[in-house]
């Protein structure tokens, strides 16, 4: 796997430190609230696991699966719900946990969708942001890192479903895409 990597953008240590800091901030901000972490599958699974462990107040966890990329590196722009929430979220404080915001299409769809179900609040926590790529504006409450406009993998994030288990955020070598 390591042979397929061109460069590392965010190291294990940087991830660990930043995730802990965001968790501490969420702990302060959501004390006394009905916090529900909504992880966006599949990319957010690793970030959500680490983040949840660094939040020191009771919370609920649920997941949604939506897809706009499929096996491509370009967003189709059409967001499809593949798996919906199990929990009722009326009156709850929702924090959507995402691995990466690129065009913003996935999240702007999700925020509107969850607000329409009567949540008390719907905010966004993303590990990575590619601001240069934005097509629709979304308000981000917690952010790990800004990254340049490069297709990244690792720490939950895939290329054609692979590399999610790579422990750092990295860019693949060109030749890997044509394998």
Ligand X SMILES: O=P(O)(O)OC[C@H]1O[C@H](OP(=O)(O)OP(=O)(O)O)[C@H](O)[C@@H]1O
Q: 158 an active-site residue?
A: no
Span near ligand X by CB under 6 A; candidates 9-17, 30-38, 102-110, 146-154: 102-110
Q: Of these, 106, 153, 159, 171, which contacts ligand X (CB under 6 A)?
A: 106
Site for ligand X in 20-59 (CB under 6 A): 40-43
Q: Which of 162, 126, 160, 159 is nearest to 142 (CA)?
A: 126
Question: Which of 100, 138 has the CB closer to ligand HPA?
Answer: 100
Q: Which of 114, 106, 133 is nearest to 43 (CA)?
A: 106
CA distance 63 to 88: 12
Choose the one of ligand HPA, ligand X, Mg ion, none that binds residue 98, judging by a C-beta under 5 to 8 angstroms depending on kind.
ligand X
| Per-residue contact flags (x/-) with Mg ion for residues 149 to 178, judged by CB under 5 A | ---------x--------------------
| Per-residue contact flags (x/-) with ligand X for residues 74 to 93, judged by CB under 6 A | -x------------------
Using CB under 6 A as the binding rule, whether residue 113 contacts ligand X is answered as no
Which residue out of 62, 84, 99, 102 is catalytically annotated? 102
Residues that bind ligand X (CB under 6 A): 40-43, 67-69, 75, 98-106, 158
Active-site positions?
Answer: 102
């Amino acid at each position: 796997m390591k042979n397929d990597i061109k460069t590392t953008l965010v190291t294990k240590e940087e991830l660990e430190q930043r995730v802990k800091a965001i968790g501490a901030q969420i702990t302060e901000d959501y004390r006394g609230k009905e916090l529900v972490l909504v992880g966006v599958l599949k990319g957010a699974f690793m970030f959500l696991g680490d983040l949840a462990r660094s939040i020191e107040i009771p919370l609920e966890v649920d997941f949604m699966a939506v897809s706009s990329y499929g096996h491509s590196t370009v967003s189709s722009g059409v967001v499809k719900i593949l798996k919906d929430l199990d929990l009722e979220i009326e009156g709850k404080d929702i924090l959507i946990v995402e691995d990466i915001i690129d065009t913003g299409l996935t999240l702007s769809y999700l925020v509107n969708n969850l607000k329409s179900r009567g949540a008390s609040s719907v905010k966004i926590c993303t590990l990575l942001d590619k601001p240069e790529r934005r097509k629709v504006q979304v308000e981000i409450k917690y952010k790990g890192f800004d990254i340049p406009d490069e297709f990244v993998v690792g720490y939950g994030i895939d290329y054609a479903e692979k590399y999610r288990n790579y422990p750092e955020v990295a860019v693949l070598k060109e030749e890997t895409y044509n394998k």
